[in-house]
Amino acid sequence: MTANDGPARRAWPRPARPRLPAWLAYRVQRLLAPNAGYRRLASLLERWEPVYRVFTAGEKAAKRELFGCRMCGQCTLPVTGYACPMTCPKQLRNGPCGGVGQDGTCEVFPGTRCVWVEAYERAERQGHTADLMLLQRPIDQRLWGRSSWVSYWSSQDDGLWTAAGDSARPGIWRPPRSVPAGQR
């Protein structure tokens, strides 16, 4: 980047290449799957704000180092091959833009691989390409900086993406699974 790129371009996230191998990330995800212990931990963290802040700072440091995480609070790593779509300069959560180079490079940062090319290759190596077909719902901007692990363990993020085979209505118009049927 040069000084002439302007403040807007400097503020864009750079596509990040995950440091944790996908096979290991998928295995760790199984260890972190919600259970009674994690639900209890999430409940305790939500009640004790100072401890929650320390926990979230640790999550932020670990996920930034391993995945380039931007702490959107609505983590899609499990369904994007553990490549963070929020590192896309355009923050596209449902696939690449039309500017991906033939060699898989980002149009905004030439010479850098597109996050979505990385996501596809990682998911493909692990047999998870079907996950990439799940439609990501629009991000709730109020959750930036919040712990996605706590949200995951307490089921607050149920409905972040459409379920496999969901085709009745486009996912962004379908209410989250946590909304009772009478309130839809």
Boundaries of every domain in the chain: 3-183
pLDDT of residue 11: 63
CB 112 within 8 A of CB 105: yes
> What confidence tens digit (pLDDT) does each residue in 66-76 have?
999 999 999 99
Dihedral of CA atoms 39, 44, 50, 53 in degrees, nearest 10, equals 0
How many whole angstroms separate alpha carbon 13 and alpha carbon 1? 13
Q: Match 């180079």 to its residue by tokens.
A: 101
How many whole angstroms separate alpha carbon 141 and alpha carbon 143? 5
pLDDT of residue 163: 66
pLDDT of residue 166: 54
- Token pair listed for 57: 């700072």
pTM: 0.78
Q: What value, to the nearest 5°, has the Cα angle with vertex 55 and ends 49 and 61?
A: 135
pLDDT at 177 > cutoff 70: no
- The stretch 33-45 carries a mean pLDDT of 95
